[in-house]
């Protein structure tokens, strides 16, 4: 094993020379919705003692920032249902002030945005991703089971009023929002909101009620756009799985996230921390490292935690192995998106 001194002050570079600068953090596995493709209706959540406390999350993220992470995306479960989560955002804002952190952002279902948008802005958040698969109230209630569309729309209003740039993430679901492609797109255009479609992934045990969670390939979504618009591919990449096109008629940039394709692995700059302190190195693989133990066992020193992070990054695989043809489409990945944070 390499000694600590070797790592001291070193930024996170994986064995394939990729700099790890982006950390996604799931701050809770709980949620106030039960989206059909994400959770079963009667989910069992983790006992509280398993979760990192807010102080532990803060220490963990601060350590990552010290090791060169420049972008933090807070997710869940629903990050805004975690009690006192604003104190976490407020405490992370000092890293924005120092310049060490370039971006603090979150992915949310929007249910609590009306309450928190201004506080988030004040903490230095400038962009927020809101998940929204339909603009039809009845369909929204069907797909989220417990969610209500007007509440989310009020949240989006509040976010924009506070000065947050909003991006909508819509999961592409065959026979569900296929017919809303044009209406969702023009609604986003009218509100100056970016839009990204996500391909549905086989995650977790979500029960057998996959009436709504039908796979709609983004290739077909793109084709559907071509029926309505002139579509131009853009070269822009974010280090992640998104690809972008421009709709010439509206000038809108539309994103497509196909997490199962292998074609973005070579530029992967990210790792994921679960709410229990496990670091997943790749969305499509089970390799992970326990960071909670070195954190909890050494309350007065971050050195063991930094070592553990470096060792984990040293195991980051070259690419993932997440393939519909071999895994089937529903419920084949043992972990839920709400655990690793999507
Ligand atoms: N609760 C927040 C939300 O819904 O935005 C954050 C967590 S959620 C797990 C993050 C993203 O994962 C959401 O955009 C959601 O639509 C997406 N997601 C959840 N399950 C998915 C699945 N099986 N396939 C593709 N995307 C999924
Ligand atoms: Fe909750 Fe987000 Fe999963 Fe929907 S996708 S159940 S809002 S964590």
Pocket of ligand 2 (CB under 6 A): 31, 33-35, 38-39, 76-78, 109, 131, 338
- 19-23, 40-44, 184-188, 335-339: the lowest-pLDDT one: 335-339
Q: What is the dihedral of CA 26, 32, 37, 43, to 10 degrees?
A: 90
Cα separation, 287 vs 69, whole angstroms: 20
pLDDT of residue 258: 82
Q: What is the dihedral of CA 74, 80, 83, 88, to 10 degrees?
A: 40
pTM over 0.85: yes
Q: Is the pLDDT of residue 338 over 70?
A: no
Choice from 32, 35, 38, 240 to test ligand 1 binding pocket (greatest atom count within 8 A of CB) = 38
pLDDT-derived band at 332, boundaries 50, 70, 90: very low
Q: Is the pLDDT of residue 327 over 50?
A: no
- 14 C-alpha vs ligand 2 centroid, how far in Å? 30
- In this structure, the number of other CB atoms found within 10 A of the CB of residue 173 comes to 23
338 lines ligand 1 (CB under 6 A): yes
**Cβ partners under 8 Å of residue 320, min gap 6:** 262, 265, 282, 283, 284, 285
Average pLDDT of the chain is 89
- 168 C-alpha vs ligand 2 centroid, how far in Å? 14
177 lines ligand 1 (CB under 6 A): no
pLDDT of residue 242: 85
Q: Is the pLDDT of residue 333 over 90?
A: no
Q: Which residues pair with 131 in a beta bridge?
A: 169
Cα separation, 265 vs 244, whole angstroms: 17
pLDDT of residue 335: 57
- 322 C-alpha vs ligand 2 centroid, how far in Å? 21
What's the mean pLDDT in 191-198?
96
Cα separation, 265 vs 286, whole angstroms: 15
Q: Is the pLDDT of residue 326 over 80?
A: no
> In this prediction, what percent of the chain has a pLDDT beyond 70?
85
Cα separation, 159 vs 66, whole angstroms: 30
What's the mean pLDDT in 256-276?
81
Q: Which residues pair with 333 in a beta bridge?
A: 203
pLDDT-derived band at 154, boundaries 50, 70, 90: very high
What's the mean pLDDT in 151-155?
98
196 lines ligand 1 (CB under 6 A): no
pLDDT-derived band at 328, boundaries 50, 70, 90: very low
Of the spans 151-165, 254-268, 304-318, which averages the highest pLDDT? Answer: 151-165
Q: Is the pLDDT of residue 106 over 70?
A: yes
pLDDT of residue 163: 98
pLDDT-derived band at 215, boundaries 50, 70, 90: confident
**Cβ partners under 8 Å of residue 262, min gap 6:** 319, 320
pLDDT of residue 330: 38
CA-nearest residue, atom 21 of ligand 1: 38
Structure tokens at 128: 């927020």
């Amino acid at each position: 094993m390499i000694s600590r001194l070797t790592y001291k002050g070193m930024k996170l570079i994986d064995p394939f020379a990729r700099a790890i600068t982006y950390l996604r953090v799931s701050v809770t596995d709980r949620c106030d919705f039960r989206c059909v493709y994400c959770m079963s209706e009667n989910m069992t959540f983790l006992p509280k003692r398993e979760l990192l406390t807010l102080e532990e999350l803060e220490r963990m993220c601060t350590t990552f920032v010290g090791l060169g992470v420049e972008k933090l995306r807070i997710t869940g479960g629903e990050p805004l249902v975690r009690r006192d989560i604003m104190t976490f955002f407020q405490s992370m804002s000092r890293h924005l002030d120092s310049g060490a952190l370039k971006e603090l952002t979150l992915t949310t279902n929007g249910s609590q945005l009306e309450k928190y948008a201004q506080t988030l802005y004040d903490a230095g958040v400038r962009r927020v991703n809101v998940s929204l698969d339909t603009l039809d109230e009845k369909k929204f209630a069907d797909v989220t089971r417990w969610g209500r569309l007007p509440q989310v729309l009020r949240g989006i209003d509040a976010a924009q009023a506070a000065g947050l740039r909003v991006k909508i993430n819509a999961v592409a679901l065959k026979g569900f929002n296929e017919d809303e492609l044009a209406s969702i797109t023009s609604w986003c255009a009218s509100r100056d909101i970016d839009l990204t479609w996500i391909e549905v992934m086989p995650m977790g045990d979500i029960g057998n009620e996959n009436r709504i969670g039908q796979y709609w390939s983004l290739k077909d979504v793109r084709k559907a756009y071509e029926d309505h618009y002139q579509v131009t591919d853009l070269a822009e990449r974010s280090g992640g799985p998104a690809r972008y096109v421009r709709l010439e008629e509206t000038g809108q940039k539309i994103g497509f996230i196909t997490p199962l394709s292998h074609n973005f692995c070579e530029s992967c700059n990210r790792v994921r921390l679960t709410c229990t302190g496990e670091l997943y190195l790749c969305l499509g693989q089970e390799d992970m490292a326990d960071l909670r133990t070195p954190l909890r066992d050494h309350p007065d020193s971050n050195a063991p935690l930094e070592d553990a992070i470096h060792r984990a990054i040293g195991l980051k695989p070259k690419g993932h192995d997440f393939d519909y043809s071999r895994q089937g489409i529903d419920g084949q990945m043992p972990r839920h998106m709400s655990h690793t944070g999507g």
